[in-house]
């Protein structure tokens, strides 16, 4: 997906989606763009898949699994918002430097960081006790 005005897929980007299917297609375009262009998003997806696989292997309760799914979704959602903010800032200032643009980008990145740290802490509280118990059982003679 190019930002070029000559890209026929973007010629109607300013219009409201005419139907629900088109809205979902636009959303999937944003998801796919972020997955392809943002290394951190791909890392978060991989970690999320690993955490969910570990949670299923540990037979975590539905409530704990739901909390982990919510944390992963929040992390990915914030990465998407961060990408959107960075794109809008880049669009508005071009290739020039502006201190307010730096602040906007840094704050968006900080939001991702704060959420990531809390997600790791909560994930550890949920996963580590059953993981240690399971590993302990596997290591007993």
CA distance 81 to 44: 14
Catalytic site residues? Answer: 79
Q: Biggest alpha carbon distance in the chain?
A: 68
Is the CB of residue 75 less than 8 Å from the CB of residue 116? yes
* SS3 state at 60: coil
Query: How large is the angle between the packed helices 39-57 and 62-93, nearest 10 degrees?
Result: 180
What letter would DSSP give residue 9? G
> Which among 6, 2, 72, 13 is positioned nearest to 37, based on CA atoms?
2
> Which among 38, 44, 41 is positioned nearest to 120, based on CA atoms?
44
Assigned token pair, 123: 């994930």
């Amino acid at each position: 997906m190019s930002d070029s005005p000559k890209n026929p897929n973007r010629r109607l980007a300013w219009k409201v989606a005419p139907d629900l299917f088109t809205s979902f297609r636009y959303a999937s375009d944003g998801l796919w763009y972020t997955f392809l262009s943002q290394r951190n998003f791909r890392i978060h997806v991989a970690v999320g898949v690993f955490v969910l696989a570990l949670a299923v292997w540990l037979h975590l309760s539905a409530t704990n699994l739901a909390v982990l799914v919510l944390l992963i979704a929040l992390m990915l959602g914030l990465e998407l918002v961060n990408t959107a903010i960075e794109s809008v800032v880049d669009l508005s200032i071009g290739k020039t430097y502006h201190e307010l643009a730096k602040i906007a980008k840094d704050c968006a990145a900080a939001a991702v960081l704060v959420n990531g740290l809390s997600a790791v802490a909560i994930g550890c509280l949920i996963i580590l006790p059953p993981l240690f118990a399971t590993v302990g059982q596997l290591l007993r003679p």
